[in-house]
Amino acid sequence: MVCPSAGGLWIARESQGLAEGVFRTRQEAVRFALAEGGRDNVVRFSASPALPSYLTPLP
């Protein structure tokens, strides 16, 4: 999933939460998502801002 962050950056996060990156541009986030996803990759976009996992409190 690729989505904006509340701070104006872009987040690319694998659906299981195993890989994540924070980027300055949407293009960089998409490039990371495609590289991490492998050959059969599908990149989903969300317009809802999210926090990087390192800023999200643990349950």
pLDDT tier for residue 46 given thresholds of 50, 70 and 90: very high
- Domain membership flag for residue 53: no
- Domain membership flag for residue 20: yes
- Domain membership flag for residue 21: yes
- What pTM was computed for the model? 0.81
Whole domain around residue 26: which residue ranges? 2-41
**Residue recorded with tokens 């293009």:** 27
Burial of 54 (0-12, 13-18, 19+ CB in 10 A): exposed
Q: Strand, coil or helix: what is 16?
A: coil
* Alpha carbons 40 and 53: distance in angstroms, whole number: 25
Q: What's the average model confidence in pLDDT over 37-50?
A: 86
Q: Strand, coil or helix: what is 34?
A: helix
Whether residue 19 contacts residue 11, with contact meaning beta carbons closer than 8 Å, is answered with no
The count of structural domains within the chain is: 1
